[in-house]
A and B are shown apart, each in its own frame.
Chain A
């Protein structure tokens, strides 16, 4: 398996524009997580899915953020409209679930810069 695949690797956008980050989890993994990493806040859990269903979105900062998982092999994180304070590295991770102790496999991350 190629691992968790995120796209794009880097994104530079202007304030007010819509940004969509994409993630393909490892096949067979039951859980998918979106994290945001900044110097100030570290790794924050934004939302996670179990079997494509959002379980906990309490970490989503505000209504400008939304996430979907239309099927087991694809998820998106959308920011609309984007703001400079959204600049961060966004990670997607997947885990196989309880039987394998929830070991998380991470994508390479998307570095988002909003100017």
Chain B
């Protein structure tokens, strides 16, 4: 079965500091994709970053980067120089053969 687990229900970080959100997943597929989505209070789901499992290099998007450990099935998100606008719920997700499954989410609060 395809599962995604986020073990941190809530986290907080001071503005300008760095925070890491954890995610583990389980899949029997060899080729799959991993994602981090952000859901601010507006409720809109926004793609933050994407990683293709067959690529060893960790994906980066400006202040957002991932630590992809394929053997450990771990996919953490690092947010550098945290900004107040980063306050949101963050969802980790995996997809293979089209089925997109989400973790339970981590609520991140950035404090001024």
Contact A42–B105 (Cβ < 8 Å): yes
- The interface on chain B, measured as residues whose beta carbon lies within 8 A of the other chain's beta carbons, has a size of 21
What 1/0 flags go to A62-88 for Cβ under 8 Å of B? 000000000000000000000000000
Q: By the criterion CB–CB under 8 Å, are A106 and B44 in contact?
A: yes
Known contacts: A101-B52, A104-B47, A108-B44. The answer to whether A45 contacts B104 by CB under 8 A is no
Q: Interface majority SS on A: helix, strand, loop or mixed?
A: strand
- How many A residues touch the partner, as a band? 20 to 34
* B98 & A98 in contact (Cβ 8 Å cutoff): yes
CB-CB under 8 A for A106 and B45, given A43-B91, A50-B98:
yes
Contacts from B to A (Cβ < 8 Å): 33, 35, 37, 43-45, 47, 50, 52, 91, 93, 95, 97-105
A-to-B contact residues, CB < 8 Å: 30-31, 33, 35, 42-43, 45, 48, 50, 55-56, 89, 91, 93, 95, 97-98, 101-104, 106, 108-109
Given contact pairs A55-B99, A104-B45, enumerate 19 new A-B contacts (beta carbons under 8 Å): A31-B98, A33-B100, A35-B102, A42-B91, A42-B103, A42-B105, A45-B102, A89-B43, A93-B100, A95-B98, A97-B98, A98-B98, A101-B95, A103-B47, A103-B50, A104-B93, A104-B95, A108-B43, A109-B43
